[in-house]
Amino acid sequence: MDDTRNVTDEYKGMPIEKIVAELDKKGCGLEIAVENLDRDFNMGTIVRSANAFGVRKVHVIGRKQWNKRGAMMTDKYLHVVYHKTVDEFMSAVAGKPLIAFDNVAGSVALHQTTLPAQAVLLFGAEGPGITEELRTHAAQVVAIEQFGSTRSINVGVAAGIAMYAWLQQNYL
């Protein structure tokens, strides 16, 4: 029987548990966190990108429910951890620098930022961004430079750009 899952050829025919174990051995030191206040439909894109870039853990802060369809089952191959509160999340990532991505006043341009090797990159919900409560815990707030007329880019796209920038600085 053909394996039609969205996995690279080296993982075809392997059970999910074995794929996860293999990926855990070679994953990178980056973690992703998303504040999920409104059942954001971008979560699937963020999780799929995290999987593609070798991220092994995605933190979901707030609502547990999200649109998994966009993840194309990639959530099965990494560790998605749910936190009901900001305090619960902060306890889970204690000791790791939290880098918030949001285009707010006082943020630093991505091209001027050094992203730490063992970082947690934080993204907010589409529209409202990261809550002030959570943003105050960030070691740094970073904005992705934009040159057109739009106020912001899609949070799923922003997460992909940020993850790749981290890879360029720390992994490639």
> What is the reported pLDDT for 72?
82
Q: In the prediction, which pLDDT does 56 show?
A: 97
Interatomic CA distance for residues 15 and 131, integer angstroms: 39
Per the prediction, the chain carries an average pLDDT of: 92
Calculate the alpha carbon distances from 85 to 46, 88, 94, 105, 136 in Å.
20, 5, 14, 25, 14
Determine the Cα–Cα distance for residues 160 and 133; give it in Å rounded to an integer: 24
Q: Using the predicted structure, report yes or no on whether residue 41 has a pLDDT greater than 80.
A: no
- Round to whole Å and give the CA distance between 112 and 142: 9
pLDDT in tens, 72-128: 888 999 999 999 999 999 999 999 999 999 999 999 999 999 999 999 999 998 788
Q: How far apart are CA 47 and CA 168, in angstroms?
A: 19
Give the Å distances, CA to CA, from 54 to 25, 70, 116, 157, 160. 10, 18, 16, 17, 12
pLDDT score, position 79: 96
> Across residues 28-37, what is the average pLDDT?
90
pLDDT of residue 141: 97
Q: Which domains does the chain have, with CATH numbers?
A: 15-170 (3.40.1280.10)
